[in-house]
Amino acid sequence: MEIKKKDGNFKTVWIRYDTSSSDRHQLFFKEHSIRNQEPEYPKGKTLFVLNIPPYATTESVKNAFTDCCGPVKSVTFVQSSNLEFKTAYIVFTKDISLKVASRLNEKCTLTLNTSKSPLITGIEKWCKQYNDSIIDESKVKEVIDKCLIEYDNKKEEEMEEDEIKGEVDSKGWTTITSKKKRGKFATTRKESTIQKIQTKEDSKKHKKTLLNFYTFQIRESKKEHLAELRKKFELDKKKLEQIKQKRIFKPF
């Protein structure tokens, strides 16, 4: 297989799925060293790798480079899609491991699937993902029961705190106090009590209202007063007429 060239001072190394694989894949890598170095990718310990196969996992890449170069602290993929070739930052534990990695060449071949670190792919991987997605009913029941027990214990503690407490004074009298406040456990109010509260609130609002403060208010109140006097005068006249008609003795 012919090795492709990559610009940007990248070196190449081969990678395969397992030892029985006849096909190999080419990786491009170099030391990660920039002006504004990220703290999570320290200088002198970080390797920048391109063209990692889509089926590779962080654990399999970590074990592959650990076997060839030395202990790996972390592997971080830049591309999150599982259908594209990935880019990774490999951080070694020691500086010497990066120097060993920089000496890798096309004569070296990394292996992803080993007995130490098995890598599941294909239909076996999909079946495992599906089985892992199924929630075990017994485990869910355990979690629910645990939450219910914790909730009941918490409520019992709150009720104990709100229980009636007795305090004995110097004369021997016991003062009964309660921390309970009106809430969902309080008794419902009577209709008469609600009406009294409503009347009190209405009177408060009425007191806050400014009456006869503006000129137009004074003018309108005078008009209303005159209208009421006229109505009262007309009613008085009708009453007098009715009394006259009912009077039995008529001297005139």
The string of pLDDT tens digits covering residues 10-53 is: 888 998 888 888 888 889 999 998 888 888 999 999 999 999 98
Looking at the fold, whether 114 and 30 belong to one and the same domain comes out as: yes
End-to-end CA distance of the chain: 144
Better-predicted residue by pLDDT, 252 or 229: 229
Q: Is residue 193 part of a domain?
A: yes
Q: Is residue 93 part of a domain?
A: yes
Q: Is residue 150 part of a domain?
A: no
Q: Is residue 67 part of a domain?
A: yes
Question: Is the confidence at residue 180, as pLDDT, over 60?
Answer: no
Long-range Cβ contacts of 176-185 (<8 Å, 24+ apart)? none
Looking at the fold, whether 21 and 114 belong to one and the same domain comes out as: yes
> 199 lies in which domain range?
189-246
pTM: 0.49
In the listed set 91, 120, 149, which residue is the last one of a domain according to the structure?
A: 120
Looking at the fold, whether 214 and 113 belong to one and the same domain comes out as: no
Give me the CATH number covering residue 68: 3.30.70.330
Looking at the fold, whether 106 and 202 belong to one and the same domain comes out as: no
In the listed set 120, 155, 179, which residue is the last one of a domain according to the structure?
A: 120
C-alpha distances in Å from residue 208, one per residue of 4, 21, 205, 235 = 88, 90, 5, 35
Query: What is the tally of structural domains in the chain?
Result: 2
CB 18 within 8 A of CB 111: yes
The pLDDT of residue 3: 46
Looking at the fold, whether 201 and 108 belong to one and the same domain comes out as: no
Q: How far apart are CA 242 and CA 96, in angstroms?
A: 124
Question: Is the confidence at residue 62, as pLDDT, over 80?
Answer: yes
Q: Is residue 252 part of a domain?
A: no
Q: Is residue 184 part of a domain?
A: no
CA dihedral sign, ordered 152, 158, 161, 164: negative
Looking at the fold, whether 115 and 15 belong to one and the same domain comes out as: yes
Q: Is residue 238 part of a domain?
A: yes
Looking at the fold, whether 202 and 105 belong to one and the same domain comes out as: no
Looking at the fold, whether 105 and 27 belong to one and the same domain comes out as: yes
Better-predicted residue by pLDDT, 243 or 185: 243
In the listed set 71, 87, 120, which residue is the last one of a domain according to the structure?
A: 120
- Work out the mean pLDDT of the chain and round it to a whole number: 81
Q: Is residue 161 part of a domain?
A: no
